[in-house]
Amino acid sequence: DGKIVLEFPTTFHAVAATAATAVTNIDGSLSASTTGRIVTITRSGGSEITAGTEVTVTIPSVTNQKYEGSSGAFVALYTTLSTGVKIDEATSGSSTLPPAVTFIPSTFGGNAGAVTPASLVAGAVGSANLVFTTGNPLPADGKIVLEFPTSFHAIAATSATKVSGIDGTI
């Protein structure tokens, strides 16, 4: 019986682990609890895991950071006896701390955006409507970037008009 404790970086949101699943090289019963960004996995029963064994455990209910970029290094990872005595430890002062994870941008919730020119007549000048579904929050000071194909000529957008689903100044 013992515990595995993992502290996530501040860039992770809503870490709410209430369970853990043994994947490889660990047996017994696993349960999990969360305090802030610290997940404690408690193991009951099973056999001793020998030194040098790679163990894989899945922790559900972890929400990644909202935007692309590095998560920053994990803060702490350690194992303990059921009494709390540490067995293995990786903290900010050690080189064995789990490294940062790099996240990629969301893909608009898996929905294709649409651009519809006001006129479909070749050579016509006019507006175009852009419709998309956000996959993550768009902050108040965020930007919307649309790159037109090279077949469009003389694009000179100097303003935008909001139609629906957005407030503030564009």
Q: Domain locations in the chain?
A: 2-103, 106-163
Could you say which DSSP state residue 109 is in?
Answer: G
Instruction: Give the count of beta carbons closer than 10 Å to the beta carbon of residue 79.
Output: 17
DSSP H or E run through 132: none
User: Torsion-angle region of residue 37: left (phi > 0), alpha (psi -120 to 50) or beta?
Assistant: alpha
In angstroms, the CA 142 to CA 103 distance is 18
Per-residue pLDDT of the chain (170 residues; tens, 9 = 90+): 899 999 999 888 778 888 899 999 999 999 999 998 899 999 999 999 999 999 999 998 888 888 899 998 888 999 999 999 999 998 777 767 888 899 988 888 788 889 999 999 988 888 888 999 988 888 888 888 888 888 887 777 777 877 777 777 76
